[in-house]
Structure 1
Amino acid sequence: MKLLHAADLHIDSPLRGLSGYEGAPVEEIRSAARRAVANLVDLARAEAVDAVLLAGDIYDGDWKDYHTGLFFTVQMRRLADAGIPVLLVAGNHDADSRITRELRLPPNVHRFSTDQPETVAFEDLGLAVHGQGFGVRDVTDNLAVTYPAPRGGMFNVGLLHTALTGRDGHDNYAPCSVGDLVSRGYDYWALGHVHAREVVHEAEPWIVFPGNIQGRHARETGPKGATLITVDEPGRVAIEHRDLDVVRWARLDVDASTATDVDDVLDLVRRRIAEARASAGDRLLAGRVRITGAGDVHEALWRDERRFVFETRALAAEFSGVWLEKVRLATRHAELADAGAELPALVADLARTAQALRADPSALEQLVRGIPGLKTLDARVAEEGIAPADPAWRADLFDQAVDLLTALVTGTDGEPG
């Protein structure tokens, strides 16, 4: 038996601020989520899987129009034509309370109840799938503890949208522990909600976050896709990640500590882009360059930061299929680095505060929402990408602020300033 487990498709997820970047491949990125869904269906058909498991957040919220639902329906019909059933639960982004439009899905798709857990059994396969979707966005109850007992002699799967005990950058919806899941006696837990792939527990049972199928922005880096599950017999299970993304987001950190001038830094950047370009295959590479390290080149970089940014973007244009979303300087003066324990207390305090806030999304939200003037910017959200309600946007804004403050504190002359 083969199963394909995916989650967090976020079809037609809105793009924020890309139009403000010169030369941004807006349409290519805008269509990426749909193309990744088509890749998911292609993979299911090529592998002749026995079922597809979708663990929530099929959509990114209420549809702007029916085209979003129509696209998903068409893809599900492609699976129906291949005789492949689909089992899905709603997550926080596509909860019953958030999706006000509806199109009838083909009969091969089963959407689990949001009122209580239920079981769908395939006697011919020896497969039982248990699940419950979100009726509202903010589900704070532990849904897992009410899931039904496993079916004897069958491969039992729990389909659940959850943050478990909490994951960085994700609201703690449907909280539960690994112990809660293990105690149900299932063979595999197909989880969703967390966008980074994670094998939480290996065997008896497998507990897996497959991650989202397409990175949506520069904080969702690396390969994205689904998990292929092969069951030879109960107790003999193999899992394998399969890439589905068509745009590969990458954080391109470059250590400039050994560079003697700006040209040296650009050579380092060129090599880093070449490495990332090769690993991305035939996908579009969307990169964020960050120059780090302490050295003599620090002053030259910061003296004409704007020129360096444009030089880096011109360099990226040498490669086919590469777009740089941002170029950041986060270097320090060599003398300051040599001071070691004598680093200004303010820098150390800033680092501790940054670490604490990154680990506490609610505190970061309060901080960002408290910035004067943000509440008056609603009309500019679509145009300029100002989205204080978006956790990813808040985290990105915070990272930029930390980089800038660190540079200002260290100063270009090696003295606090």
Structure 2
Amino acid sequence: MVYRFIHTADIHLDSPLRTLALRNAELSELIGLATRRSFVRIIDLCLDERVDALVIAGDLYDGDQTSMKTARFLAEQLARLHEAGIRAFIIRGNHDALSKITAELIMPDSVKVFGSVAETIAIDRAPGRFPVAIHGLSFAKPQAPESLLRQYAVPVPDTVNIGIMHTSLGGSAGHDLYAPCSVADLRQTGFRYWALGHIHKRSAVEDSSSAIVMPGIPQGRDINEDGPKSVSLVTIRDDRSVVVEERQTAIAQFERLVVDISRATDWKDVVLEAKGKLERLSSAVSADQLVARVEITGATELAWRIRRDADLLRTELETRGATIGNVWIEKVVTSSVAPKQQDARPSALDELAAIIDSEIHSSTQYRDEVRSIADELRAQLPAELREIFGKDEGSFENLLAQFAKDGASQVLARLRGGEGE
């Protein structure tokens, strides 16, 4: 008989919101509950598919959380699996290592939380069914700069060996290096399936000897985790071949939408073009809710007004999104510009824009003043929101440069609007 399980990771239950918490309260509530609702969907999938097990490859939590509401929620969901005879195998990742809940929560007997010493669990199977062994190892500390692979036991002979590991592999943009190893290293272990976690983007490497899968995050939390999100439904057949199926789990899906308004002649054209694109994107999204960041592009005489009245455009799009249904506007940004005038003398505003680009933005005094203002604002934010200003010095400086550019564009747009009126 086959052996089937759901493989997921990086659930980040009750992950604190960052940018959304400062904008739309309704949208903030939706995304704030999405990680829980996505986890319920994963449990539902286990029950519907009647799998043998749920495998969670780290970062079930998001950090140093002590909320007993989270503990009760998790216990209730795992109890649903226990009652259905479905086992759960969980390792702790870098975020879980900080969580007191992981250490204190009493799990059902059917749940195995691996410790900081590698273990191998032999699965009880009926006579005549191929044997299965699951290998796991949890992070003892939030950091794991060295490979953990050598701590895993050798594969059990004549058995389907499944390894669970939280690792950055060879590294990935936006992710710190944790328990590094390579796909080639994993293949050489002789394990039939590697259930990985940590990198939030889905990837899979499969051949006749093994399947190495990073399922990605099952529910995006901000625009940088855009696109469809899923878990893996894994079937190991009687001939021990592995079939990996992707199953969508996101409640809300973040997407970036580019709207070219080059052909727009009035405000209504802009709104209708954006609405049409939102409708098409909404129909193509698999999640219940669409959360879109809309970027307005193209050369148009309306560029100055769009920058000046960006708040009104956002309100227009939010209204259209509500009409479409389950469509939310995360942010509206504009990179639209005025058409270039052939053989036209530069206006006073054109000259001002040139001075801002060539002299103001490059001024040390100006950059120091912007940095000082940003530092003061950042200091007033709660600790969990301070990454809005970047995770390191480089991203902080890039963000400030973009703020300065956008601010100058807004000022010029308002001045240009005054000229037109």
Q: Does the TM-score normalized on the shorter chain lie above 0.5?
A: yes
Structure 2 equivalent of residue 238 of structure 1? 243
Gap change, CA 1:3 and 1:272, over 3 Å in 2:
same
Give the stretch that moved more between structures: 370-379 or 182-191: 370-379
Q: Is the 8 A contact 2:389 2:399 kept in 1?
A: no
Instruction: Work out which of the residue numbers 86, 92, 95 in structure 1 matches 2:94.
Output: 92
Structure 2 equivalent of residue 72 of structure 1? 74
Task: State whether structure 2 residue 323 is matched by structure 1 residue 318.
Answer: yes
Matches within 5 A, 1:98-137: 102-114=104-116, 116-124=117-125, 126-137=131-142
* Alpha-carbon distance, 1:98 to partner: 6.2
Whole-angstrom distance in 1 between the partners of 2:179 and 2:34: 29
Whole-angstrom distance in 2 between the partners of 1:259 and 1:234: 60
Matches within 5 A, 1:396-407: 402=402, 405=405
Structure 2 equivalent of residue 387 of structure 1? 387
Q: Secondary structure at the match of 2:181?
A: coil
Matches within 5 A, 1:217-256: 217-256=222-261
Whole-angstrom distance in 1 between the partners of 2:21 and 2:409: 32
Structure 1 equivalent of residue 276 of structure 2? 271
Give the stretch that moved more between structures: 235-244 or 123-132: 123-132
Whole-angstrom distance in 2 between the partners of 1:18 and 1:106: 35
Which amino acid is the alignment partner of residue 307 of structure 2?
A: W
Output the TM-score relative to the length of structure 2: 0.80
Task: State whether structure 2 residue 42 is matched by structure 1 residue 40.
Answer: yes
Q: Is the 8 A contact 2:201 2:217 kept in 1?
A: yes
Instruction: Work out which of the residue numbers 27, 30, 33 in structure 2 matches 1:28.
Output: 30
Whole-angstrom distance in 1 between the partners of 2:249 and 2:407: 38
Whole-angstrom distance in 1 between the partners of 2:289 and 2:397: 24
Q: Is the 8 A contact 1:187 1:203 kept in 2?
A: no
Structure 2 equivalent of residue 213 of structure 1? 218
Give the stretch that moved more between structures: 205-214 or 13-22: 13-22
Taking every aligned residue pair, what percent have the same amino acid on both sides? 34
Whole-angstrom distance in 1 between the partners of 2:330 and 2:319: 13
Which amino acid is the alignment partner of residue 175 of structure 1?
A: P
Structure 2 equivalent of residue 140 of structure 1? 145
Which amino acid is the alignment partner of residue 70 of structure 1?
A: R
Whole-angstrom distance in 2 between the partners of 1:179 and 1:15: 37
Q: Secondary structure at the match of 1:386?
A: helix
Whole-angstrom distance in 2 between the partners of 1:152 and 1:375: 61
Structure 1 equivalent of residue 364 of structure 2? none
Whose helix proportion is higher, 1 or 2?
A: 2
Q: Is the 8 A contact 1:97 1:135 kept in 2?
A: no
Whole-angstrom distance in 2 between the partners of 1:268 and 1:396: 34
Whole-angstrom distance in 2 between the partners of 1:165 and 1:293: 39
* Alpha-carbon distance, 1:292 to partner: 2.5
* Alpha-carbon distance, 1:296 to partner: 4.5
Q: Secondary structure at the match of 2:194?
A: strand
Whole-angstrom distance in 2 between the partners of 1:4 and 1:203: 21
Whole-angstrom distance in 2 between the partners of 1:404 and 1:263: 29
Deviation by residue 1:105-138 (Cα, 9 ceiling, x = unmatched): 1111111121x32211215252111121111111
* Alpha-carbon distance, 1:297 to partner: 4.0
Which amino acid is the alignment partner of residue 315 of structure 1?
A: R
* Alpha-carbon distance, 1:72 to partner: 0.9
Structure 1 equivalent of residue 187 of structure 2? 182
Deviation by residue 1:235-284 (Cα, 9 ceiling, x = unmatched): 52111111112122222222333434433322221112102222335712
* Alpha-carbon distance, 1:305 to partner: 3.0
Q: Is the 8 A contact 1:223 1:248 kept in 2?
A: yes
Structure 1 equivalent of residue 366 of structure 2? none
Structure 1 equivalent of residue 344 of structure 2? none
Structure 1 equivalent of residue 375 of structure 2? 374
Q: Is the 8 A contact 2:252 2:287 kept in 1?
A: no
Whole-angstrom distance in 1 between the partners of 2:325 and 2:76: 32
Whole-angstrom distance in 1 between the partners of 2:270 and 2:185: 50
Whole-angstrom distance in 1 between the partners of 2:26 and 2:306: 24
Q: Is the 8 A contact 1:9 1:58 kept in 2?
A: yes
Aligned pair count reads 383
Which amino acid is the alignment partner of residue 117 of structure 1?
A: A
Which amino acid is the alignment partner of residue 13 of structure 1?
A: S
Whole-angstrom distance in 1 between the partners of 2:389 and 2:160: 40
Whole-angstrom distance in 1 between the partners of 2:271 and 2:395: 27
Whole-angstrom distance in 1 between the partners of 2:84 and 2:249: 19
Whole-angstrom distance in 1 between the partners of 2:15 and 2:373: 28
Gap change, CA 1:97 and 1:34, over 3 Å in 2:
closer
Deviation by residue 1:42-61 (Cα, 9 ceiling, x = unmatched): 10011111111100000111
Task: State whether structure 2 residue 163 is matched by structure 1 residue 158.
Answer: yes
